[in-house]
Amino acid sequence: MSSEFLTIYWRDMLRFVRFKAALVASLIQPALWMALYGAAMSNNFSRLEAGMVVPPGAMTVSYLTFMGGGVIALTTLFTSLFGGITLLFDKNWGLMRELLASPMPRNHIILGIGLSGVTKSFIQVMVIMGFGLVIGVQFFPGYSLLQKMGAVLGILLFVGIFSLGFLFLSSTISMSMETPEGLQAVITLLTLPLFFASNALYPIDAFPWPVRFLSQFNPLTHLVDGVRYFMIGSDFYAIGIHYVYSSNDLIVSLLALMGFAALMFLVAWQVFKRAVIT
Amino acid sequence: MPDKIIEVKNLEYRYGSFKAVDDVSFFVRKGEIFSLLGPNGAGKSTVINILTTLLPIQRGHATISGYDLATEPQEVRRSIGIVFQDETLDRDLTVWETLELHGRIYSMPGRERRERIEEIISLVELEDKRDVRTRYLSGGMKRRLEIGRGLMTRPEVLFLDEPTIGLDTQTRRRLWDYIRMVNASGTTIFLTTHYMDEADQVSDWIDIMDHGKIIASGDPAKLKDALGNDMIYLNTSDDTVTERLLQGLSVVRGIKATGEGLVVTISADGTHCLPIIMNQIEENGIEIISVNLKKPTLDDVFVHHTGRAIRDAGAEKLRRIQPKGRR
């Protein structure tokens, strides 16, 4: 079996660890989210929640815990969307000709970039979870060690598939754009609706119905659902809303993310097959 | 024929309605240094991009080492090495990593790859730079690294697209030594350049391209011989009359008017013909502004076939694109 995608992976990871500033920033940024936004908002939400009646028997979780899953999802989204940017630089100022003229199948470029992006996301997710524990996020309430390990694997599975989808999308955009400025603009434009029409930082139940409807097709929402399922549980109460996830919900979310990733791969593959650099 | 390693027949390539390559046919013999010459924009890069599989075949037919470019691009890719016109390096990888990456994407097995990397590093004399990132290499070192990289898989043909562009004279000379050495070890070299003098010195065979067509073909000596022994460049107060006057002289083989004056090809030794020609002009009351006698170069071959100098042909394009690029 040909394994040239591992070469692309190797090269991208070399660059990742070589640029110390970018490496450190990518690890600190999600922690800052938790520390600043999380601390500020959880105080606000605690005040609001004070007067609410919690149904008997429901497990209540703090806002910080609730948003912990959201920060994992958002960080994965940002990292993945920018994960393909190397390709644009390669295309304009570097290695792309060398890669395209080689006998290596072109989908290996996409796979290699995908794999390294997923690795980066995994590292970030682990950092967020570690940092979250330090500042008081209640991950895995009442789980046994084995359950905790299973939950971490479940989170990584969701993060991995989601991340692949957006890395493939990012690769497509990078190959299609001429300049980094254009890429930046397109990706920022893409992030906003994904971000706000999702349940990452607040519940979607109070959205106007069209946004609520659309958010069901938002991969970010499916990722957040999956992460919260593994992180908190299938039945909990947060910021005034009772969350219940059935295992069917979980499977639907997983399938949605897989479908999204598969579709994005096919699109990227077409773009790379036709790529012409002169 | 087994000795033709590259064979191109009726190749045509269009960008939209613009024909960049127009019905081009040529072949390259195994083991030779073949040069495709021409001004910027002549279509050389398009030809090389097609032959290196970066552009698809639109019309025509081409084979390299017996593999059909249209149907067996994978095999073609495995049998060629390429040094691109623009720098194609990851500036944040070291010299060693650059070669390692190349070996891996060409599926070279680990042991062979490691051995070849060492060979190549010493071939291009970058031993003390092996762990230096390419961004810290000089222009000449980068080029040497790229040439070394192109040779890693021991390709049958090495494509060099304007390999010496932007390098100083000394570095160029050294690069040509490398290229000759590589060729001597059996690798066929396919070269494009617009430096006529360099092509003249290294090439076994030259095809000259202009406006998408091949306009002349031959070994450098024959191409120049076709123009006669010597050439006289003349500038007079009345070129039109001068042209008519000189046509009557037996030593004159041909006259060509260019934008800069007259180019006279002669049949005998120039040092003897020049006084005859100058007398003829002055006796008729025409003033000679400047005169220059020289052996024909490939530049003259280009002028002979196109009616303009190669540097003008290149400059034409530059002038066209400059207003847009200027800020």
Mean pLDDT across A92-102: 90
pLDDT at A1: 52
User: Any idea which residue has 């599989």 for tokens?
Assistant: B53
Report the SS3 class of residue B298: helix
Sign of dihedral through CA atoms B97, B49, A86, A70? negative
pLDDT at B310: 65
Which among B23, B10, B91 has a CA at the least distance from the CA of A98?
Answer: B91
Report the SS3 class of residue B237: coil
Asked if A15 has any chain B CB less than 8 Å from its own CB, the reply is yes
Asked if A18 has any chain B CB less than 8 Å from its own CB, the reply is yes
pLDDT at A51: 67
How much of chain B exceeds pLDDT 90, in percent? 45
Partners of B101 on chain A (C-beta within 8 Å) are 7, 10-11
The B-side interface with A (CB below 8 A) comprises 45-46, 49, 52-56, 74, 77-78, 82, 84, 86-93, 97, 101-102, 104-107, 149
Interacting residues of B224 by C-beta distance below 8 A, sequence separation 6+: B200, B295, B296, B297, B298, B300, B301
Which among B47, B178, B75 has a CA at the least distance from the CA of B122?
Answer: B178
> Partners of B94 in the beta sheet?
B133
Q: Is the pLDDT of residue A186 over 80?
A: yes
| Cα end-to-end distance, chain B, whole Å | 53
Dist. CA B28–CA B84, nearest whole Å? 19
Nearest CB among A90, A101, A277 relative to B82 is that of A101
Tens of pLDDT along A187-211?
A: 999 998 898 888 888 888 778 888 8
Say if residues A191 and A78 touch (Cβ distance below 8 Å).
yes
Tens of pLDDT along B222-269?
A: 888 777 667 888 888 888 888 888 888 888 878 888 877 888 888 777
Mean pLDDT across A41-67: 76
Tens of pLDDT along B85-133?
A: 888 999 999 999 999 999 999 999 999 999 999 999 998 889 999 999 9
Quote the minimal CA–CA distance from B241 to chain A in Å: 48
pLDDT at B311: 58
Helix axes A107-135, A5-18, angle to 10 degrees: 40
Tens of pLDDT along B311-326?
A: 555 544 444 433 333 3
Mean pLDDT across B144-164: 91
Dist. CA A233–CA A90, nearest whole Å? 43
Phi, psi (5° rounding) for residue A95? Answer: -85, -5
- Give the DSSP H or E segment for A211: helix A209-215
Mean pLDDT across A57-63: 78
pLDDT at B326: 33
pLDDT at B121: 94
A276:B74 CB<8 A: no
Phi, psi (5° rounding) for residue A51? Answer: -85, -5
**Residue from A1, A10, A97 whose CB has the most chain B CBs within 10 Å, to mutate:** A97
Compute CA A127 distance to the chain's CA centroid, rounded to the nearest angstrom: 14
Quote the minimal CA–CA distance from B122 to chain A in Å: 22
Mean pLDDT across B17-33: 93
Mean pLDDT across A262-270: 96
Pick B25 or B279 by higher pLDDT: B25
Taken as a whole, chain B contains a residue count of 327
pLDDT at B53: 92
Sign of dihedral through CA atoms A35, A36, A37, A40? positive
pLDDT at B2: 52
pLDDT at B312: 59
Asked if A14 has any chain B CB less than 8 Å from its own CB, the reply is yes
For all residues of chain A together, what is the average pLDDT? 88
Q: Which long-range contacts (CB under 8 A, 24 or more apart) does B217-225 make?
A: B217/B26, B220/B298, B223/B298, B223/B301, B224/B200, B224/B295, B224/B296, B224/B297, B224/B298, B224/B300, B224/B301
